Amino acid sequence: MKRPDPRNSLLPLHGLLPAALRPRCTQSHRAKGELLFRQGKRPESMFYVAGGEVTLQRPGANGENVVLQRARQGFVAEASLQSSKYHCDAVVTVPGLVVSLPIASIKQALLSDSTFAMRWIGMLNRELMHLRLRCERLSIKGVRNRVLHLIETEGQGGRLPLDAGLKSVAAELGVTHEALYRTVAGLEHEGLLRRDDGRIGLC
């Protein structure tokens, strides 16, 4: 199988950043389980997930990890631009290509380049819409309805990638992985859902 060209994954980032800022960014392949940053540390970099998956998470009341965001083809730690510390951990859940952007340089570019600032606002607006969908999903009663909502809103053509496994999806849905496994199995049995090629999709 032909491997995807990593340069294609960086095209959205190139379209966003000013040309003068791009050489200051560094890209590297990150391994599963690697920490991009730890809660409480002073922010020096923002990260763009060009391949793989990164989750933002915090310890829950009972010691479990609560997933705040799952990033694929997008930014993590945008809020660090105006913060004195990271407010969660960023953990690589699927290995892939991650771009590091120096926060000081981004701040300077936003102040000096109004066109870039407007593009940045547009990117934040899209992220806000995504977070609203997640809040809506967490307010839905029942694991079954949350699963269907996730596939319909986050999937492409009714198919949702499962690169990090169902356990990661369960954390995003705010349910136990046992409850999610039972629900997915039930939907498969009803002929409403199918799993293949690392994805779950509507039938």
CA 72 to chain centre: 4
21 phi and psi angles, rounded to 5 deg: -85, -25
Identify whether residues 17 and 83 lie together within a single domain: yes
Statement to judge: residues 31 and 70 lie in one domain? yes
Q: What would the pLDDT profile of 68-119 be if each residue is shown by its tens digit?
A: 888 888 888 887 888 889 989 999 998 999 999 999 999 999 999 999 999 9
Q: Which residues pair with 56 in a beta bridge?
A: 69, 90
* Same domain assignment for residues 82 and 38: yes
In a domain, 126, yes or no: no
User: Residue 57 gets which letter from DSSP?
Assistant: E
Number of domains in the chain: 2
Q: How many CB atoms lie within 10 A of CB 105?
A: 18
- Residue 36 is assigned to a structural domain of this protein: yes
Do both 80 and 151 map to the same domain?
Answer: no
pLDDT per residue as tens, the chain (203 positions):
344 444 555 667 888 999 999 899 999 999 999 999 999 999 999 999 998 889 898 877 776 777 888 888 888 888 788 888 998 999 999 899 999 999 999 999 999 999 999 999 998 898 888 888 888 988 899 999 998 888 888 877 778 877 667 777 887 788 888 888 899 889 888 988 888 877 888 88
Q: Does residue 149 share a domain with residue 107? A: no
Residues 12 and 99 grouped into a single domain: yes
Using CA atoms, how far residue 173 sits from 12, 109, 132, 144, 197, in Å, is 27, 36, 14, 10, 22
In DSSP notation, 81-98 reads: GG-SS-SSEEEEEE-EEE
Q: Are 92 and 16 in a shared domain?
A: yes
Strands 159-161 and 53-59: unpaired
> Which residue range is the domain that position 95 belongs to?
6-113
CATH number, position 17: 2.60.120.10
| Structural contact between residues 32 and 92, judged by C-beta atoms closer than 8 angstroms | yes
Strands 159-161 and 199-202: antiparallel
- Give the residue from 95, 113, 131 where a domain finishes: 113
Q: How far is CA 174 from the centre of its chain?
A: 16
92 and 169 both lie in a single domain = no
Query: Is residue 124 situated within a structural domain?
Result: no
